[in-house]
Each structure stands twice: as structure tokens, then as C-alpha cells.
Chain A
Amino acid sequence: MMLLLVAVLALGVAALLSGLMSRHDRWARNIVIAGLAGAAIAGGTLVWRTLAGQGASDLLWPWLVPGAVFHIGMDSLSACFLLLVLVVGCCAGLYGEGYIAGSHGHIPATPARFFFLVLVGAMALLVAARNALLFMIAWETMALAAFGLVSCEHGKPEVRKAGLLYLLCTHVGSLCLLALFALLGSNAGSLEFSSFAAAPALPAAERAAVFLLALVGFGMKAGFMPLHIWLQEAHPAAPSHASAAMSGVMIEMGLYGLLRLLSLLGPVSLEAAFFLVALGLVTAVFGITFAMAQRDFKRLLAYSSIENIGIILTGAGLGCYGLAKHNFFLALLGFAGAILHTLNHGLFKSLLFLSAGAVYQAVGTRDIEACGGLQKRMPWTCGLMAVGAAAICGLPPLNGFMGEWLIYSWLLRPGIGHGIFFAALAAAALSVIGAFAVAAFSKCYGLTCLGQPRSEGARDARDPFWIMLGPMALLAALCVAIGLFPSLALHVAFAAASDVVGQARLTVSASLEEWSCLLEVIGLFGAGVCALSALLWLFRSALLRRREVELGPTWGCGFTAPTTRMQYTGSSYSMPLTRVFAAALATREEVHPPLGYWPGKAAFESRTPDPALERWLPVLTTKFEEWLSLPRRLQHGRLQLYLLYVSAFLVIILLWKL
């Protein structure tokens, strides 16, 4: 367990030193890299040992904080998430150094470095915390560090707005968590996680309260559907490496919290499991539908995070269903699907955010419609982005498919007693989500990387340096490796799921056997497809070796003066699908069509605001403001009346107490 402390300390010390060294940029950079490397080595060893079955005993230190013990421990569930934190944290941190240098001072280096390291360190501590108070401290540190990252470029008003929105949301979530732990702690008589598990069962009403509080508290961070409002604002506002860490890991911490709580408190009711599945599917459909309609590619990625969180939640809900039915096999399968998809999502989403950051820095805008033709100008970045996009769509030779496949096979498993209607509906929803994801990401990749450049920035774009490409390549390689050889990742996911289910290794190994065989075959097929494509490509280049290949301009449909702006746009690409969901999307369009025989100016603009943030929330907040304006009358600035309040209060207290 000391290894975890070493990792967290390395990150913390590196954060402090990089802050102190803000004058010496090169030193600060080396310190950050050294800190990340130290954390990776120490944490990686710990993860390796834990997953290999040589679990270290828990570390218990008396603590000055009342009611708390500094208690950290490590099981497969923690190790699984720690692995994600370390991989994504190190890749994004390394990339971040290149990104900060490449931003030419737009991103303030010192806070970006400091808060990033604090964020990674807090998450590493969070997954190991075995005491509610320690958990909350790590949770809040993580949330505040992320706030620091979101509002890095606080010179821009939209960034400040996003930062404040995020801060509000995270505090609402933390408040729910505080209430949750207070409830559990008062029942158990201690804030230790182990005592929660040993405590007598709560009455039904309090169980429902615990469920709701956990759902809101952790869901606010994870971004379940009506609680996602900060995600699509904060991710575009943060520097790209920070949004990679936030989207790839931090929001998953909400799911870690839910899973940890499940492992402590045992199964939820059947209705709650159905509710979780339904919530997950709604979140996923919502996320991907709105992702399709976006023009800002980081915003698109943020919505796609909501979609993936929905898929993960669906998996977790299916696991809960298994638990509620005392069918441990189903429970394992559901949770393993959720955890595997969490790992995969962390990898490909951070890869996509990192490549989006590279594109943003090269082109100078996040507008999809202003990019284009980048495949020829930034071949590495775009190639890696293509891998990420294919993976996130769940296309078979890559890792995105594996997690989703586990969830599918849960749903399509015949004769396991649950309503076939429910399963069919869920499977249909999942496949719709997959299809929409393909639409959204073919739009994202196709419009940024293919075609002709639509702006000056896109015309002069170049690949970034290796310090940015290297981490992206590593993430992409991991995506491919898990896709082709899934058994190791499957092993990890099942081990973690068995911690949630709390089941003996025997059932675990039996089910693992079945699924790893199947997935290995799929992986082999994928490898075969890859090898075949490589062969065909080699064959083609061999055939073309002696011949001259000419590149001609794209056919301009006979226009005399074609411009690159006449290409397919993102809105036109996604129009067939967005029209179907027009009622839900409520895209605002401003159309000035060309009129008459000699049309002058014509314009078209569309924007898809978030419904929860811009339509539903204001209804609530205006009501709240009305209520809150009543006590505001007390705050009128008259000193005398303030004194009167104080003295009246004191006299009343005196009279009451005597």
C-alpha cells in the first residue's frame, strides 16, 4: 500500500514544485514528467501486484481528523480504476506539456500543470480510500482541481461561465454525497467503508434515500441525463489534455462510486435495477442524438461521453438486475461489461480529446465546419483520430466493441427469466445508439479530416511534435491491442466485477472462461481482417510500383468558380437524422434563403442548445429565485437594522435559555 502513497506523493510534490518553478518553464516541465513517471511506476507496480492476486494489506493510520481513519486499501475494482487513472493521466499529462508549449501562452502553464497533477493524484487516492471522510476529501480535491483546469483560460467569458456552472454542479453532487455518508455513517456508527458493509440493513425509506442520494451525487459527476448539464460546457472550455483526463477518467469516478457503494451495501431492488437500465439507455440515446447535432468537436465529444456513460450505466443496471435476482452469472456479466466499457471509454475518449486538441491548436478553431482536408496535412493526428472514432463507435476489431458485446450478450442470452420485451427493447436501443455513434463520428472525422480545407487555418495545419503524438499513439495502440487480444482486459474487468458482486472466484472463472474464448475468437477475426487489409494494401502498392499515379482535383460538378465552402457541411450530413429528432433537439435555425432571380446575400445558421440547461433548468431556477428574493429583503445594507437583528437574537436567546 505504500506504493500508492508514493504515487500520490510523487504527484503532489511534483504539483507543488512545478508551481514553485513557474519562472523556469523547462524545469517545471521536467518536474511534471518526472512526477508522472514516478506515479506511473509506483502505481503500476501496485496495480500489477493486486491484479496478479498478491493484494497488499490495508493501510490504517490514526488521523487527527475527528471520526476518520486514514484507511487505504486496494482490491481489483480499485486497481482497475487506478490503472485507468494512471494510463490516461500519464498520457494526457505528457501531451499536456506539448499542448501548453504549443498554445504560445494562451494556456497559463502554472495552474494548468498544478491542477492537472492534483487532479490525477486525487483520483489515485480516491479509488483507494476506504473511509468515507478520506473519500470525500479526495473527491472534493478532484472536483476543485478540475474546476481549476476548466477555468484555466478565465479571460474568456464563456470559460468563466462554464467553470461556475461546473462548480455549482459538483457542489450539489458533493452535498448529496455528504448526506449519503452521514446517513450510512449514522446507521453503521462509523465512517469506515467496512462498517457500512457490516451494518444492519436500513429501513426501506432510508434505503430509497440512499439510492437517490447516491444516484444524484455520483450521477452529477458522471453526467446521467438530467444532471449532465455541466459536461458539454466544461469539456470544451478546459484545455484539451484536461478535458481528456476529465472525460476519460474523472466522470468515470462517479461510476466507481456507485460500484463501490453497491459492493458495500449489497443488491438494490429489482425496480431500481430497471430504473438504472432505463436511465442509462435514455442518457445514451440523448447524448448521442445531441452529439450528432453539434458543430464544436469538443462539445460533440462531451455529448458522446454522456452517451458512453449511459452505456456503462446500462451495464451496471443489468448487473444490478442479476444481483437482485440472485443470478450471479448475470450480475458478473453486466458489471464486467460496464467496467470493460469504462476502461475502453477512458482510452478512446482521451485519445479523441487529445487529437481534437491537436486539431484545435493547428487550425485555431473548434468548429467542424472550418476544418477539412486535414488527413493530408496532419496524417498522424488524423490517423489516430480515425482509430479513436472507430473504437468509440464499437466497430469490431477495436476495443469499443468488447464492452458493448458483453452487454449485448447479456440482453440476448435466451431463457434467463427476465422479460423478453425488456431485453429486446434494450438491445434495440443499444443498436440505435451504436448506429448514431457511427453517424456522429463519421461526421466528426469525415468533415475535419477529409475533403478540402475550408479555412486558412486548416490549409496551413501541421502535425504536432512527438510529445503530443506519442501519448496519442500509445492510447491508440492500447485501443487496438485490447480489440485484438481482449482476454487480459476481460480478466481485469471480471476480477473487478467479482469485487462488486462479492462472489467466489469459482463462478468468476467459469464465466470468464466462456466469454474470453468467445471474445478471443472475435479478436482473432479482427486480427485476421487487419492482416488481410494489410496484405491487400501491400499487394496494391506492389502493383502500383511501376506506374505513375496522378492526383487530380475533385470534380466540381461543372461549377465555373467552385470554392471549398461548397462541400458537404456537418449540418447537411447529419440533417436526415436530426430531422427525425427535430422535436427533441429543438435546433434553432436562422435561415435567409436566396430570393429572386439575382439573389444577393443568403445565410444559414443553426445552433442546438442543451435542453436540460437552457429549457428545463430555467423553469426551476426562476421559481427558486422568486423564493430566494424574499429573504434578500433582509439584506438591505442598513447597519442599524443589522445590529437590531443581532441584539434581538441575543435577547431572545437569553430570555429563552433563562
Chain B
Amino acid sequence: MGQLSQLLLAFIVFLSLYLLGSSSLTGCIKIVALQGMCLGVLPLTVRAEGFHPQGLLLAAGMFILKGFAIPWVLLYAIREVKIRREMEPMIGYIPSLLIGAALIGVSFALAERLPVPAGLRTSLLIPVSLATVMMGMLMMISRFKAVSQVIGYLVFENGVYLFGLAIAYQVPWIIEMGVLLDVFVAVFVMGIIINHIARAFDSISTEKLTRLSD
């Protein structure tokens, strides 16, 4: 069990890195979907005392929402605004990959010094969650397209979820449901806003939003 979860965590970091280096929007969305699926499975592997129906239900909900529903909304959004594969990064793919690698290092260093419960010290959970948060942040910062910012936000959110998982094994399921709903609504709203931005500015580049400042 433990090894499986470590493997999944490594895979999640790898997916985040892949996102930083990928240029296709549809590809990015699919990768986020994959990451979401991994997250859905992860709680089942972390819990040592086996499955119970609540956990299963939650995993299934997470799996469906992050793996299918949100990506579907995003794919719908980019189909509506007719963009496929252009990413206009402020920081190029190779530099952002390098920065991402550096961020992973930083998060490991941070996790060393973070005061966490003793059992978690050896786990990859904390550093991976920090790295995911930072990479999501990096993605939001370095990309101009609104869709890629939503993707960055999702990665960020995944990192937050991982951290929550690390801190509280027994997250009350109502809170988890709340978080899921929150993310779903946020992405939904963003999808709509992307449409509106595209309609108002003839582009979904957030660069154009500077016109709104005074």
C-alpha cells in the first residue's frame, strides 16, 4: 500500500512537470484530468486500515469530478472559443521546466523544516503537495491564456487537497464534498468567464485585461 501511494505521488509531480512543458491546451486538460484521477485514487492507498464505503464513495466522486466533469467543462470552453494549441508563455517551456524542478527542490527543503506530525516526516505527501501548489502558481503566473490559468488553478487546488490529506487523514467527508463543490463551481464560473472574455476582447489572453485598469 505504502509503496503504491509513493508511486502515485511521484506520478502526480511528474504530471505537473509535464504540464509546465506542454504546449497543447487539450493535452494539458487531459493531463490535469489524469492528475485528478490519481488524486481520487490516492486516499484509498494512503489509508492503512482498508476501505470503508464512505471513503470509496468519496474517491469515486473525486475521480469523476476531477477526472471527467471538470475537464469536460474546460474542453467545452475551449471548443466554444475555438482555440486548440497555442500557449503563449511568459516564461518559455524549458525555463519553466527548470524552475519547476527548482521548486520541487525548494519544497523538499521546506517540508524538512515544516512542523508536521511525526508519522508524516518520511512520507512524500508534504513535499509533493507543496511542489504541486508552487507549480500551479507558476503556471498561473507564466501563462497568458485564461484557460491555462484555470489549469494552473486546478493544479494549485490539487496541491491544496494533497496537503489537506497529509494533515488530516480523517477529513470529515462533508468538508471534502464542500471543497469538491467549490472547485467545480469555480471552474464552471471560470469557463463561463473565459467565454465572456473571448467575446468582449476577441481573445482569451488575460493580457488584454490590462485595459480594464485605470
A605 to chain B, nearest CB (A): 37
Q: Looking at A635, A641, A643, A658, which has the most chain B CB atoms within 10 Å of its CB? A: A643
Q: Considering only CB atoms, which chain A residue lies closest to B111 in the complex?
A: A658
In the bound complex, residues from chain A placing their C-beta under 8 Å from that of B106 are 651
A635 to B214, CA, bound (A): 9
A654 to B103, CA, bound (A): 13
Interface residues of B in 88-114 (CB under 8 A from A): 90, 106, 110, 113-114
A65 within 8 A of B: no
Interface bits B121-165 vs A (CB < 8 Å: 1, else 0)? 000000000000010011011111000010000000000000000
B212 within 8 A of A: yes
- Dominant secondary structure of chain B at its interface with chain A: helix
A28 to B114, CA, bound (A): 64
Q: How many residues of A contact B (CB 8 A)?
A: 14
Listed stretches B16-24, B55-63, B202-210; interface member: B202-210
- Dominant secondary structure of chain A at its interface with chain B: helix
Interface residues of A in 608-658 (CB under 8 A from B): 635-641, 643-644, 647, 651, 654-655, 658
Q: Considering only CB atoms, which chain A residue lies closest to B106 in the complex?
A: A651
Pairs across A and B, CB under 8 Å, 12 listed: A636-B213, A637-B209, A639-B209, A640-B140, A640-B141, A640-B144, A641-B141, A643-B137, A643-B140, A647-B141, A654-B110, A658-B114
A658 to B213, Cβ gap below 8 A? no
In the bound complex, residues from chain A placing their C-beta under 8 Å from that of B210 are 636-638
In the bound complex, residues from chain B placing their C-beta under 8 Å from that of A635 are 213
B110 to A639, Cβ gap below 8 A? no
A655 to B207, CA, bound (A): 31
A644 to B137, CA, bound (A): 8
A635 to B210, CA, bound (A): 10
Interface bits A348-377 vs B (CB < 8 Å: 1, else 0)? 000000000000000000000000000000
A639 to chain B, nearest CB (A): 5
A655 to B144, Cβ gap below 8 A? no
Q: Considering only CB atoms, which chain B residue lies closest to A644 in the complex?
A: B141
Known A637-B212, A640-B144, A654-B110; judge A647-B137 contact (CB<8 A): yes
A640 to B206, Cβ gap below 8 A? yes
In the bound complex, residues from chain B placing their C-beta under 8 Å from that of A655 are 110
A641 to B149, CA, bound (A): 13
A332 to B35, CA, bound (A): 82
In the bound complex, residues from chain B placing their C-beta under 8 Å from that of A658 are 110, 113-114
In the bound complex, residues from chain A placing their C-beta under 8 Å from that of B213 are 635-637
Q: Considering only CB atoms, which chain A residue lies closest to B213 in the complex?
A: A637
A298 to chain B, nearest CB (A): 35
B207 to chain A, nearest CB (A): 7
Q: Considering only CB atoms, which chain B residue lies closest to A637 in the complex?
A: B213
B198 to chain A, nearest CB (A): 16
B136 to chain A, nearest CB (A): 10
In the bound complex, residues from chain A placing their C-beta under 8 Å from that of B137 are 643, 647
A636 to B206, CA, bound (A): 13
Question: 12 extra interchain contacts, Cβ-Cβ under 8 A, other than A639-B209, A640-B140, A641-B141?
Answer: A637-B209, A637-B210, A637-B212, A638-B210, A640-B90, A640-B141, A640-B143, A640-B206, A643-B137, A643-B140, A647-B134, A647-B137
A533 to chain B, nearest CB (A): 66
A164 to chain B, nearest CB (A): 17
Interface bits B2-17 vs A (CB < 8 Å: 1, else 0)? 0000000000000000
In the bound complex, residues from chain A placing their C-beta under 8 Å from that of B140 are 640, 643
A639 to B153, CA, bound (A): 13
A651 to B142, CA, bound (A): 17
In the bound complex, residues from chain B placing their C-beta under 8 Å from that of A654 are 110
Per CB-CB distance, the 8 closest pairs between chain A and chain B, nearest first, are: A637-B213, A637-B210, A658-B113, A647-B137, A644-B141, A643-B141, A639-B206, A640-B141
In the bound complex, residues from chain B placing their C-beta under 8 Å from that of A636 are 210, 213
In the bound complex, residues from chain B placing their C-beta under 8 Å from that of A644 are 141
Q: Looking at A635, A647, A655, which has the most chain B CB atoms within 10 Å of its CB? A: A647
Q: Considering only CB atoms, which chain B residue lies closest to A647 in the complex?
A: B137
Known A643-B140, A643-B141, A647-B141; judge A638-B207 contact (CB<8 A): yes
